[in-house]
Amino acid sequence: MATGKKNSSPIKVMVVDDSAVIRGLFVNLLDSDPDIEIVATASTGIMAVNLLAASSAKKIDVDIITLDVQMPEMDGLTALPLLLERVPTAKIIMASTLTNDNAEETVKALSLGAADYLAKPERSEREAMYAFSRDLIEKVKVLGAIAREDRLRKAAEKKPEAAAVVKPELVKPKKPPRQINLRKRSLVEKPKAIAIGSSTGGPQALTQLFRQFKLNKFNVPIFLTQHMPPQFTAMLAKQISDVSDKQCAEGKEGEPVIPGRVYVAPGDTHMLVKKVGDNILINITRDPPENFCRPAVDPMLRSLVKVYGSKILVLILTGMGADGMLGCREVVAQGGAVIAQDEETSVVWGMPGAVAMDGLCVDVEPLPKLHETLIDLAQGQIQ
């Protein structure tokens, strides 16, 4: 249990997993942080749904739900929409083992409304457990803060007389649009490559993006780095292929880059490109993580600059942290262009916010409009 005094307004978490060992691990790690409070646990999806169905009587407020993918009676994918129906403001983090079946279900869950995922630790070594604990607590705190603000704001709007209960001083007013200095579109060249970087909320955004535009409108290769472990990236590539009309697969070491194809960085590796003679080849490395990530966006962008120079168009989607910002600086310095997802439609405005506030973007757009901007710039239509 927690060793320090709890925050007066902690992030409220429900842990759902059929394994008592995993439930105990999650509870112990999360409860050690004074900004997090465990309000409920459940061993099945049905139990979790029933707990939330009765939450109005029991006064169970939930900001975060960690949800196991595979459970008896009702699995995580089935429980997901039922839990969101009962607590629309909650952010659900899928917890999955690193298997193909679980990865496929998890990626599907992310496209259906889950906010993020966690790969359960496979090893008990100190380093592995430290990394897992850091990721778990970071995701719960970042996503939980967003969910808590939404929950308190909605409670205040629904029942203003309950102000003393919901503590409106904790409810931050809706942020006005930030003042962002955009670069001139007139400087954008028609690209020979498109790069996309994303993290938390990325699978949902990518599914929507690729469903909206047809890649044959700009016959250039697309390089994609999404922060994901092995197995998950292969399933993400399959999902993109399913919703679009172009080939999408994990990049393979030494394969030639072909216009019109989408290359996804394989989990736990960095995906780069290199020029050999007249050919551009995929280069897969296990260089150290950057920004605590492997794959990471920055090394991909650095390698693209070396090969394509100014003929690069970068799109940064929703995600925690600032991975991609340093790489985008190099892209812009060489004459390439950057666009980013706006704050309102991002699950977390970390990565896109970093490039936007750094003055690197020619456009910052909501997700439903990004495909139009991407197509215009990719075709050289700058007005």
**Residue 152: band (very low, low, confident or very high) from pLDDT cuts 50, 70, 90:** confident
The per-residue pLDDT for 96 is 87
- The answer to the question of residue 249 being in a domain is yes
**Residue 166: band (very low, low, confident or very high) from pLDDT cuts 50, 70, 90:** very low
The β-bridge relationship of strands 279-285 and 262-264 is unpaired
- The answer to the question of residue 6 being in a domain is no
**Residue 32: band (very low, low, confident or very high) from pLDDT cuts 50, 70, 90:** very high
The per-residue pLDDT for 214 is 65
Q: Is the same domain home to 115 and 221? A: no
Residue 118 φ then ψ, to 5°: -140, 135
Q: Domains in the chain: how many in total?
A: 2
CATH number at residue 199: 3.40.50.180
Q: Is the same domain home to 227 and 105? A: no
- The answer to the question of residue 357 being in a domain is yes
**Residue 221: band (very low, low, confident or very high) from pLDDT cuts 50, 70, 90:** very high
The per-residue pLDDT for 151 is 80
- The answer to the question of residue 302 being in a domain is yes
The answer on pLDDT for 258 being more than 70 is yes
CATH number at residue 18: 3.40.50.2300
Last residue within a domain, chosen from 136, 170, 204? 170
CA–CA distance, 279 with 5 (Å, rounded to integer): 60
Q: Of 8-17, 100-109, 324-333, which range is least confident?
A: 100-109
Going by C-alpha positions, the residue among 217, 249, 220 that lies closest to residue 233 is 249
Q: State the chain's mean pLDDT as an integer.
A: 88
Q: Is the same domain home to 198 and 280? A: yes
Q: Is the same domain home to 204 and 306? A: yes
- The answer to the question of residue 176 being in a domain is no
Alpha-carbon separation of residue 272 from 253, 262, 287, 335, 342 (angstroms): 9, 13, 11, 20, 27
The per-residue pLDDT for 185 is 84
Q: Is the same domain home to 227 and 328? A: yes
The answer on pLDDT for 36 being more than 80 is yes
Q: Is the same domain home to 139 and 212? A: no
The per-residue pLDDT for 3 is 47
The per-residue pLDDT for 244 is 87
User: Which whole number is the average pLDDT over 163-182?
Assistant: 59
Q: Please give the residue range of the domain that contains residue 38.
A: 11-170
Q: Is the same domain home to 236 and 371? A: yes
Q: Is the same domain home to 242 and 115? A: no
Q: Is the same domain home to 98 and 194? A: no
**Residue 7: band (very low, low, confident or very high) from pLDDT cuts 50, 70, 90:** confident
Last residue within a domain, chosen from 123, 141, 170? 170
The answer on pLDDT for 49 being more than 50 is yes
- The answer to the question of residue 177 being in a domain is no
Q: Is the same domain home to 239 and 364? A: yes
Segments in 213-336 forming alpha helices (H): 232-243, 297-308, 325-333
- The answer to the question of residue 15 being in a domain is yes
- The answer to the question of residue 354 being in a domain is yes
**Residue 162: band (very low, low, confident or very high) from pLDDT cuts 50, 70, 90:** very low
Last residue within a domain, chosen from 170, 203, 235? 170
Q: Is the same domain home to 217 and 339? A: yes
**DSSP-based three-state secondary structure for 213:** coil
**Residue 169: band (very low, low, confident or very high) from pLDDT cuts 50, 70, 90:** very low
List the end-to-end C-alpha distance of the chain, in Å, as a whole number.
59
The per-residue pLDDT for 347 is 92
Q: Of 29-33, 81-85, 172-176, 363-367, which range is least confident?
A: 172-176
Annotated active-site positions, please?
199, 227, 323
User: Which whole number is the average pLDDT over 123-136?
Assistant: 81
> Which residues are paired to 16 by β-bridges?
42, 67
CA–CA distance, 277 with 301 (Å, rounded to integer): 21
Q: Which residues contact 24 (CB under 8 A, 6 or more apart)?
A: none
Q: Is the same domain home to 58 and 190? A: no
Query: Percent of the chain beyond pLDDT 90?
Result: 68
The answer on pLDDT for 4 being more than 60 is no
Q: Which residues contact 168 (CB under 8 A, 6 or more apart)?
A: 152, 156
Q: Is the pTM of this model over 0.85?
A: yes
